[in-house]
Structure 1
Amino acid sequence: MPLLKTRPSLAMKISAGLSLIILLGLGSWQVDRLFLKKDLIEMRQAQAQMPPIAVPTDTVLDPDMAFRAAYAEGRYLNDQEKYLMARTRRGNVGFQLITPLEQEDGRIILVNRGWVPQDYREPETRPDSLIEGPVRVSGVLRLPSEKHWAQPENDAIRNQWFYVDVNHMAEDTGADLASPYYLELDDTPIPGGLPIGGQAKVELPNNHLEYAITWYSLALTLIVMFVLYHRRPSSDDEKDAQA
């Protein structure tokens, strides 16, 4: 005797339908994220590979300039180092060192020189990093960052910075800003090996395809389970078959 389908309850239909909509929505969202991330990576790569320009001064902040290859000249104000806290590298905790670069007119460009292990926070532990005299440094332009809801407030008194607020940092330095951008240095070796440059994330992880496949696979699994479940014989059908 052929097996008859079990009639699904209204609650089960609604639950399965809502779950399917959510899973398909999450999969489609990840597909959108996939292409957005791809475009972002390509934009950063293109900007970083362009011929470097001098860090723009006396200009309005342009978001399209993010990660543009650039250089700056000046003199480090080593006594005004700023520590960008809670930065990791290869699983090790440390900070990123931001040092004002003084221009001829006395204004400054903020320079993120790279990552330093926590044990080398005190300048005397890394004397080679205290470069004196005129320098020319290169890297990529970065935009000031805004405070994330989970980040602590910057603490200038304790020299603990958790996001790059160029205006606050310049105020703490006691100098005027020459540029609304800051420069994040490349991995050009420096004496003593610290700080370690090249921390700008031009390459970003793009796992959204895997996430999309996961959500779509769960949606397909839900459909298969729904169909198989409702192709089972009902209890009445089983009794009739046994009779």
Structure 2
Amino acid sequence: MDNEPRSPARAARPRLWLTVVSLVAFVALMALGVWQVERRTWKLALIDRVERRVHAPAQPIPSRASWPAITAASDEYRHVSVHGRFLHDRETLVQAVTEEGPGYWVLTPLERGDGTTVLINRGFVPSERRDPSTRRDGNPTGEVAVSGLLRVTEPKGGFLRDNLPQHNRWYSRDVAAIAAARDLRNVAPFFIDADAGSRSAGAPIGGLTVIRFPNNHLIYALTWFALAFMLAGRLFVTFRGGLFRRQRFVHEPAGGPDASARRTGSDAGTIVEPT
């Protein structure tokens, strides 16, 4: 068994595997910081794009031929308008929590003159007005004009809740599933959140679309960069104190005047003094 003590330089030198792991961690932290900077740029562009769409004058909804190409990135939150006749007997209630409290979104099919149908989220009603008989006065008949924001379908239910069409329980605005459950044909693959101007007395409360995009990417980026530089500083101190530290070897005759005071072991007479 080797009982010889390790030299100070050998003891201070970091292990190779620890050095490799630290360098990999540094690169990963820097990459995460750069990624968050890129995400922030993308988020700012998204916010600007949505703001311009929301406040633009209402335009007719996309033509039927363009429906397959509609995506969230290119079309969501566009300010649109549409004309048609509500099919109130086929409305769907989707559970919702809004600034008005818990209740339901009222999604009503709007049948257009060309035979196509668009789901309209007419707005919010509290639980006590779930029964359609409590809001008949707010259900317009005949031709109506609706303006609002184009929204893409919300398939697969809400957060941790699956839609249950067989029990008429809806937690998200899944256009295809609602159309199938209500036996609707030629339905647009999107729905429209009606704005506040589309409501009438006794009708659902429109204009409650929440447009909020959290943008904490700068904080995240600074956090990752700070961790990376802290790790880099630790590596610098470690290497400076060990691996790259210069050493001065002093040799004294074994019988020198200070040999007994400086003797350290079997290599008496040779000492290491860092500079």
Q: TM-score, normalization: structure 2?
A: 0.70
Structure 1: which amino acid aligns with 2:23?
G
1:225 Cα deviation after fit: 3.2
* CA distance 1:91–1:174, change in 2 (3 Å): closer
Q: Percent identity?
A: 30
**1-structure distance, mates of 2:203, 2:233:** 58
Q: Structure 2 regions of 5+ residues with no counterpart?
A: 1-7, 248-263, 265-271
**1-structure distance, mates of 2:241, 2:158:** 51
Secondary structure at the counterpart of residue 157 of structure 1: helix
1:138 Cα deviation after fit: 0.8
**In terms of mean alpha carbon deviation, does 138-147 or 224-233 score higher?**
224-233
The count of corresponding residues between Structure 1 and Structure 2 is: 234
1:172 Cα deviation after fit: 2.3
On the 8 A contact 1:123/1:130 being kept in 2, the answer is: no
Secondary structure at the counterpart of residue 40 of structure 2: helix
**2-structure distance, mates of 1:18, 1:124:** 65
1:121 Cα deviation after fit: 3.0
Secondary structure at the counterpart of residue 190 of structure 2: strand
Per the alignment, residue 236 of structure 2 pairs with: 227
RMSD value, Cα: 3.4
| 1:185-224 mapped onto 2 (5 Å cutoff) | 185-188=194-197, 190-192=200-202, 194-201=204-211, 203-224=212-233
Residue 88 of structure 1, aligned match among 84, 94, 97: 97
Per the alignment, residue 177 of structure 2 pairs with: 168
**1-structure distance, mates of 2:234, 2:62:** 60
Q: TM-score, normalization: structure 1?
A: 0.77
| 1:72-87 mapped onto 2 (5 Å cutoff) | 72-85=82-95, 87=96
* CA distance 1:24–1:115, change in 2 (3 Å): farther
Residue 71 of structure 1, aligned match among 60, 70, 81: 81
**1-structure distance, mates of 2:133, 2:158:** 34
**2-structure distance, mates of 1:148, 1:30:** 29
Greater relative contact order (Cα < 8 A, sep 6+): 1
* CA distance 1:220–1:116, change in 2 (3 Å): farther
